[in-house]
Amino acid sequence: MEAQTLYEKLWSSHVVHQEADGTALIYIDRHLIHEVTSPQAFEGLKLAGRKPWRVSSIVATADHNTPTDHWERGILDPVSRQQVETLDANIREVGALAYFPFRDARQGIVHVIGPENGATLPGMTVVCGDSHTSTHGAFACLAHGMGTSEVEHVLATQCLLQKRSKTMLVRVDGELGRGVSAKDIALAIIGRIGTAGGTGYAIEFGGSAIRALSMEGRMTICNMAIEAGARAGLVAVDQTTIDYLRDKPLAPKGEAWDQAVDYWRTLKTDDGAKFDKTVELDAAQIQPQVTWGTSPEMVETVSGRVPDPAGIGDPVRREGIERALKYMGLAPNTPISEIPVDQVFIGSCTNSRIEDLREAASVAKGRSKAPSVKRVLVVPGSGLVKRQAEAEGLHEVFLAAGFEWREPGCSMCLAMNADRLEPGEHCASTSNRNFEGRQGAGGRTHLVSPAMAAAAAVTGHFIDVRELA
C-alpha cells in the first residue's frame, strides 16, 4: 500500500460518500456542544421535524458565558443565563453521552473536558461549533471547528460535507531551552508562516521537540493551528498519548482497550509519505514569545522590539502595522520588555490545564503581584483541573502571590462573561487571540506562555522568565 500521512489515514477511514468534485460526506464520531453555537442548530432541527442521528456521540458543557466567581449567585446577566438554560433544555430533550452543566464538578472548557474524560480518542473525527476544536488533534483525531449550520447538519445526519485538505508537516527538532514551552513553539510557528499560512491545510506537528511534549503541550500547539489558518492540527499517537488516555472515564477498558490501542498505534504518518508542504523549526532557537499587535502573527521574542512600519514596503502590511500600533498604544521600536502590564489572564482552552498551572505557579512561588498590576486571574480549564491544582497546593501559591483563583470557564479569553479588560488596558494573556476588543472593548492583549504571564504579573512588565529563575 502507498505510504500515507496521518491526515490521509483519518480522512479515508471516514468517507461515507463522495461527489464528483471531491466533496465528501465524512462520518462524525464525536460531537462536542456548548451553549453559544448550538441554540439555532437545535431550533432548526426541531423546526424541520428532525431528530438527532446518534445521541451517544454528543458531549456537552456550558463554558463561554459562565461566571468564574460566586457560583452560588448563578448567572447574573439574563442574556447569558438564557443561553445556558437553552442548552440545558436542549440536552434534557434530546440527551447526550455526557453533559457537564454549569456548576457540575466536571464542567469546564469544552476542549479541556473532552480529552480529560476520554471523550476524545485517537482515530475519531471530533467536531464542535468552535474553532479551537483543532485542540483535539493532539490525540491523532481529525478535529476541527464548524459553524452552526454544520452543528445542525451533524445532529441530523452524523456527517459533515467536507473537502479534503492539503497536508503540511511542521517539524520541530531539537531540545527546547529552559523556560520555553509549547506556547512559544506555537507562536514561533505562527510568526514564521503567518495567520493565513495554514489556510487550506491540515497541519501535522512532528519532530523530536513535539514528541518530547506532554499531551498538555501538544494540545496547546494543536489549539493554535487555527491561528495559523489551519482548521485541523495533528500529532501522531505514541506512548505519551496512550498513557494519558488509560483509565479516563469514557476511554475503553479491558479487551476493548487492548483492541483500541492496537489500532491507535497505526495512527502515524508512514515512512516515505509525502506532504504538500514542510516547514522546519529548530527548537533550540525558539525564545519566549510575546505578541505586540492585533493578530497572532504580530509576534516577537521577549528580547525584541515592536516593529517600525516606516521600513515596510507593502502598503497593506504597513497600514496593518500602523493600525495595530495605534490600537495597542505602542510607539515603533519600543522594547517588548518595556511594555507595562495592567492585567494578567492565565487560562483558556490554550493554557488552562494542570501543567500550565504548574508552570505559572513555579514562577509565582515566593513572589507577589507587582503593585502596578490591577488584577491577575487564574482560571482553571475544568473542575477536574481545579481540584487537581488544589490537591497540589497550587491555588495557595497563587493566592499568596495576590492572584485570584477562579472557577473554570472560557472567561477572559473572549470576555463573554463578566471577566474583561477596560479600554486601553494591556493584558499578558495565555489565551489564543489578540484581536481588537477580544478581551473587552479597547483592551490590548499580548499572548504569552503561562510562565511568561506569571513573570509579567510579578514584575509589572514583560520579562524573560529565565531572568527570574
Partner 1 sequence: MKPFTELNGRVAPLDRANVDTDAIIPKQFLKSIKRSGFGPNLFDEWRYTDHGEPGQDCANRPKNPDFVLNQPRYEGAQILLTRDNFGCGSSREHAPWALEDYGFRVLIGPSFADIFFNNCFKNGLLPIVLPGPEIDELFQQCEATDGYRLKVDLAAQTITRPDGKTIAFDVDPFRKECLLNGWDDIGLTLRHADKIRAFEEKRRVDHPYYFVA
CB of 159 to partner 1, least distance (A): 6
Kindly tell me which of 54 and 466 has the beta carbon lying closer to partner 1. Answer: 54
Judged by CB under 8 A, the stretch of 79-87, 208-216, 353-361, 401-409 that binds partner 1 is 79-87
In whole angstroms, what is the distance from residue 307 CA to residue 224 CA?
23
Stretch that binds partner 1, among 108-116, 139-147, 347-355, 388-396 (CB under 8 A): 139-147
Please tell me whether residue 106 binds partner 1 under the rule CB under 8 A: no
Q: Report the residue number, 212 or 261, with the smaller CB distance to partner 1.
A: 261
Select the span of 20-28, 105-113, 362-370, 396-404 touching partner 1 (CB under 8 A). Answer: 20-28
Under the binding rule (CB under 8 A), the answer on residue 54 touching partner 1 is yes
Query: 294 is written with which cell numbers?
Result: 492585533
Query: Taking CB under 8 A as the criterion, which residues in 27-46 touch partner 1?
Result: 27, 29, 36-37, 39-40, 43
CB of 69 to partner 1, least distance (A): 19
Q: Is 252 in the site for partner 1 (CB under 8 A)?
A: yes
Residue 407: CB minimum distance to partner 1, A = 19
Cβ-contact 237, 268 below 8 angstroms: yes
1, 2, 48, 72: residue in contact with partner 1 (rule CB under 8 A): 48
Does 20 bind partner 1 (CB under 8 A)? Our answer is yes
What's the per-residue H, E or C state across the chain? CCCCCHHHHHHHCCEEEECCCCCEEEECCEEEECCCCCHHHHHHHHHCCCCCCCHHHEEEECCCCCCCCCHHHCCCCHHHHHHHHHHHHHHHHHCCCEEECCCCCCCECHHHHHHHCCCCCCCCEEEECCHHHHHHHHHCCEEEECCHHHHHHHHHHCEEEECCCEEEEEEEECCCCCCCCHHHHHHHHHHHHCCCCCCCEEEEEECHHHHCCCHHHHHHHHHHHHHHCCCEEECCCCHHHHHHHCCCCCCCCHHHHHHHHHHHCCCCCCCCCCCCEEEEEEHHHCCCEEECCCCCCCEEECCCECCCHHHCCCHHHHHHHHHHHHHHCCCCCCEHHHCECCEEEECCCCCCCHHHHHHHHHHHCCCCCCCCCCEEEECCCEHHHHHHHHHCCHHHHHHHCCCEECCCCCHHHCCCCCCCCCCCCEEEECCCCCCCCCCCCCCEEEECCHHHHHHHHHHCECCCHHHCC
The nearest distance, CB 77 to partner 1, in angstroms, is: 8
413 annotated binding-site participant: yes
Site size for partner 1 (CB under 8 A):
80
Does 69 interact with partner 1 (rule: CB under 8 A)?
Answer: no
Under the criterion CB under 8 A, does residue 334 sit at the interface with partner 1? no
Residue from 3, 12, 46, 50 in contact with partner 1 (CB under 8 A) = 50
The correct pick among 31, 111, 153, 444 for binding partner 1 (CB under 8 A) is: 153
Please give the Cα distance from 78 to 161 (Å, whole number): 36
Count other Cβ atoms within 10 Å, centred on residue 29.
17
Three cell numbers, residue 102: 454549569
The C-alpha cell at 455 is 513573570
Distance of closest approach, residue 38 Cβ to partner 1, in angstroms: 9
Q: Stretches 1-9, 217-225, 360-368, 411-419: which one binds partner 1 (CB under 8 A)? A: 411-419
128 carries a ligand binding annotation: no
By CB under 8 A, tell whether 65 contacts partner 1: yes
Within positions 344 to 403, which residues make up the interface with partner 1, using CB under 8 A?
Answer: none
Q: How far apart are CA 382 and CA 205, in angstroms?
A: 26
Would the annotation count 141 as a binding residue?
no
Task: Give the separation between CA 183 and CA 7, rounded to whole angstroms.
Answer: 23
Instruction: Kindly tell me which residue out of 414, 428, 448, 457 binds partner 1, with binding defined by CB under 8 A.
Output: 414
408 binds partner 1 (CB under 8 A): no
Among residues 112, 146, 193, 427, the one that binds partner 1 under rule CB under 8 A: 146
By the rule CB under 8 A, 308 interacts with partner 1: no
Q: Does 16 bind partner 1 (CB under 8 A)?
A: yes
> Under the criterion CB under 8 A, does residue 422 sit at the interface with partner 1?
no
CB 245 within 8 A of CB 252: no
Contacts to partner 1 from residues 432-461, by CB under 8 A: 433, 435-438, 441
Instruction: State which residue, 295 or 459, has the beta carbon closest to partner 1.
Output: 295
By the 8 A CB rule, do 9 and 267 touch? yes
Q: What minimum distance in Å lies between the beta carbon of 394 and partner 1?
A: 29
Figure out which of the listed residues 62, 415, 451, 456 binds partner 1, where binding follows CB under 8 A: 415
Site for partner 1 in 186-215 (CB under 8 A): 195-196, 199-200
Q: Among residues 131, 135, 241, 269, which is the contact residue for partner 1, using CB under 8 A?
A: 131
Q: Is 277 in the site for partner 1 (CB under 8 A)?
A: no
Q: Which is nearer to partner 1, 402 or 437 (CB)?
A: 437
Tell me the binding residues for [4Fe-4S] cluster.
Answer: 349, 410, 413
Q: Which residues are annotated as a binding site?
A: 349, 410, 413
